[in-house]
Structure 1
Amino acid sequence: MLVYMERDYWHFQDLLLMATALNMHSSESTADGVINSLSKELRSRQQCIAEITEMIHVASLLHDDVLDDAGTRRRVGSLNFVMGNKLSVLAGDFLLSRAYVALASLKNTEVVTLLATVVEHLVTGETMQMTTSAEQRCSMEYYLQKTYYKTASLISKSCKAIALLAGQTAEVSQLAYNYGRNLELAYQLIDDVLDFTGTSATLGKGSLSDIRHGIVTAPILFAIEEFPQLQAIVHEGFDDPANVDVALDYVGKSQGIERTRELAAEHAHRAVEAIEALSKSDDEDVRISRRALLDLTQRVLARTK
């Protein structure tokens, strides 16, 4: 199971950083002992959000591997390949059930409602990917919406939940949401690039995994804008290896890779703006955590696996 957490453990770290970045004492007159007690309780509840997020995320990976009939995950046999689809689905269901038991224990209606929509979004995103029309497959707007549902909804709403538990204002909660949303979209867009430019050794999967599964991503969508004739190949699909080769040729001749990196950088910049819009703090832990959140946006853009 650890292989399902290895790559995306940064979600957990990101949420803990967000918790520290937002946890500013509302009253300087409160006794130190009371502040420490409240801080420990709040930190425990926010850590619970991070744990819930990881459980939902790993459950989604287990279910995705079944849907995709995947044989490996990070160069290791996937659970469905090793133990079978039934056990893999049950393992994902178990993690989801534990996640929502933990969520209910927080006894915060707003947070429960917020995170309850995440699974709905995961299903919506997967359904969008499986049932796209020819026109939708070539739409960047549709692609980004699907990507939000499949990946960015979880981290963005978890960041917002962290803020809500801290008693932050609607404005600050929205900034936390914006950070998570844009950071995850940047991450996924770099994933799109790496699917074309990476190798199986660094990615833990076969290169061109998306296109070989018939999934049209940002580099191809940008290439279509330069070479409209590529759209006909996309409509035909990629079951024929010759179509894969033609699509790769067009992507190579286009600015698709560069424009995808630029779009990722744009989302990373929006994430930076969200953190920079937070009110200033003299608390050193808060400042360190915010710098770490800013640094994370650059790490996302620079990643090679």
Structure 2
Amino acid sequence: MTTVTELLQPVELDLENLLSDLRSLIGAGHPILQAAAEHLFSAGGKRLRPGIVLLVSRALSENGALSPRHRRLAEITEMIHTASLVHDDVVDEASTRRGVKTVHSRFDSRVAVLAGDFLFAQASWHLANLDNLDVVKLLSRVIMDLADGEVKQGLFKYDATQTFENYLEKSYCKTASLIANSAQAAGVLSNQSDEKLHHLYNFGRQLGLAFQVVDDILDFTASDKQLGKPAASDLASGYLTAPALYALEENHKLTDLIDRGFSHQSDLKEALEIVRGSNAIPRSRKLAEDFARESRESIAWIPDSCFKTALMELPEFVLSRLY
């Protein structure tokens, strides 16, 4: 199975430079916030989101070169993503991420929230200095969407009446918006036509949604070790994802279990059996496959290069996590 590192190999050196550049961008601000940010960027991770920006940027360049503004866009994308993870960890009360203690575990929740705010502010400042209003609008929308997605997720906890559209909107805000809008922003900086900008946005949107649906399937099918967290933790927390929503259409007993918040000892186990015994997992897999196919089709027009090849393989990589 292809790894993220292998997929991003065409921009490997760019990603290595990204980490050192991020550290210099943070600057010598407040020592605690700087230490928190350093801790985050040193924790590793796949760097998938800035990797996509770099691949799109080089794929659209006539000679495969990378402009300083495209490089800065990739750095801003990673700052926004990292800031959102810090806040998510506080909300979810997660003690580790990527095998490393979370910021609020290492420092405290107050420092973690401020560190996230600090990174969002830094990203906004460097975004403004790109001097491109369209790009500012696209990435500012992402920051709004991330907050909106977190609120939506909280509002619909243990709500068996929520619609599939609610689920997709929340998934877009939390996962797909950053990929979609940063891919489009790379196109804006490359002076692409409105039609091609739409295709770049759609590539990122459908890829992000495929990624989220696959994550939601794995919550029901993967082991605790594979997930790095307890299996079915989303369902236990009252977050209803594609498999649960599909299962609700087939078995109304699941509604009763959700409505009472899995308060009885055997409720969660019974809910899992209902989901796994229905057509919910195959239907969710088909949904992810459709999103992946639409993502791939959206960038067929990009000129052939090693960068385009990597982008075209990304949707298949997302699906391969299921097998």
For normalisation by structure 2, the TM-score amounts to 0.82
Question: 3-state DSSP class of the match of 1:233?
Answer: helix
Q: 2:88 aligns with which of 64, 69, 72?
A: 64
CA shift for structure 1 position 169: 0.5
Find out whether 1:120 has 2:144 as its counterpart.
yes
2:231 is aligned to: 207
Spell out structure 1 runs of 4+ moving beyond 4 A: 2-5, 133-137
Counterparts of 1:304 and 1:135, CA distance in 2: 27
Structure 1, residues 246-290: CA drift from partner, whole Å, max 9, x if none? 1101011112112111111100000011011x26x3xxxx52211
Question: 3-state DSSP class of the match of 1:95?
Answer: helix
Q: 1:252 aligns with which of 255, 276, 279?
A: 276
CA shift for structure 1 position 86: 0.8
Q: How does 1:1-305 map to 2 (within 5 A)?
A: 1-2=39-40, 6-24=44-62, 39-40=65-66, 43-132=67-156, 138-276=162-300, 278=301, 281=303, 286-303=304-321
CA shift for structure 1 position 84: 1.0
Gaps of 5+ in 2: 1-38
Q: Tell me how large the CA RMSD over aligned residues is.
A: 2.2
CA shift for structure 1 position 82: 2.1
Counterparts of 1:5 and 1:220, CA distance in 2: 32
Name the amino acid aligned to 1:51: E
Bigger Cα displacement from structure 2, 182-191 vs 232-241: 232-241
Structure 1, residues 175-207: CA drift from partner, whole Å, max 9, x if none? 110000010110111101111122232222222
C-alpha contact (below 8 Å) 1:219/1:257 kept by paired residues: yes
Say if 1:5 and 1:290 are closer, same or farther in 2 by CA, change over 3 A: farther
Name the amino acid aligned to 2:252: P
CA shift for structure 1 position 76: 3.1
CA shift for structure 1 position 78: 1.7
Name the amino acid aligned to 1:292: A
Structure 1, residues 201-228: CA drift from partner, whole Å, max 9, x if none? 2222222221122111111111111212
Counterparts of 1:237 and 1:299, CA distance in 2: 35
CA shift for structure 1 position 132: 2.3
C-alpha contact (below 8 Å) 1:179/1:271 kept by paired residues: yes
CA shift for structure 1 position 136: 6.6
Say if 1:139 and 1:60 are closer, same or farther in 2 by CA, change over 3 A: same
Counterparts of 2:221 and 2:206, CA distance in 1: 22
**How many residue pairs were aligned?**
285
Name the amino acid aligned to 1:196: F
Name the amino acid aligned to 1:291: T
Gaps of 5+ in 1: 26-35
For normalisation by structure 1, the TM-score amounts to 0.87
C-alpha contact (below 8 Å) 2:158/2:261 kept by paired residues: no
